[in-house]
């Protein structure tokens, strides 16, 4: 185990908006997981004391809330752009799910299911 990149939250302290907390939490978790993985893969685990921060910026507009997550993970390859909003598409390699996935000692992978970005696109906070 090693330290992950720091996450900086930039958000007004008094911001309140109606939304289902479980849904928002799940979506933010998936997107942060993508950023964390990208930064660690780009810089390598031996650079754990020098990872650039991941920034989560929350801004209130007149009619909506915008949540932006930015990192220095290197981005998505241009050839993958048409696929990133497709369910089950992943950039994670070697994530074959074990046939014994129903066993009590099954350990699910942390990435590679391909639903984080498509799920985030379903959200409109008004």
Catalytic member of 26, 48, 55, 60? 26
Secondary-structure breakdown of the chain: helix, strand, coil percentages, each rounded to the nearest 5: 30, 15, 55
Annotated catalytic residue 26: yes
The rounded Cα 70 to chain-centroid distance in angstroms is 10
Annotated catalytic residue 96: no
Q: What DSSP string describes 55-114?
A: EEEEEE-SS-EEEEEE--S----GGGGGGTTSTT--S--S-PPPTTTTSTT----SS-SS
- Write down the residue that tokens 């994530």 correspond to: 95
Annotated catalytic residue 30: yes
Strands ordered across the beta sheet of 54-60: 7-10, 54-60, 65-70
Catalytic member of 3, 23, 33, 68? 33
Catalytic member of 30, 48, 60, 72? 30
- Provide the annotated active-site residues: 26, 30, 33-34
């Amino acid at each position: 185990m090693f330290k992950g990149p720091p996450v900086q939250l930039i958000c007004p302290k008094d911001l309140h908006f109606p939304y289902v907390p479980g849904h928002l939490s799940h979506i933010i978790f998936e997107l942060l997981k993508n950023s964390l993985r990208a930064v660690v893969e780009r810089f390598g685990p031996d650079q754990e004391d020098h990872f650039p921060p991941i920034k989560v910026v929350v801004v209130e507009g007149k009619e909506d809330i915008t949540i932006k997550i930015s990192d220095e993970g290197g981005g998505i390859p241009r050839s993958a752009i048409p696929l990133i909003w497709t369910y089950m598409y992943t950039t994670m390699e070697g994530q074959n799910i074990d046939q014994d996935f129903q066993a009590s000692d099954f350990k699910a992978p942390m990435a590679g299911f391909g639903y984080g970005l498509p799920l985030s696109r379903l959200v409109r906070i008004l």
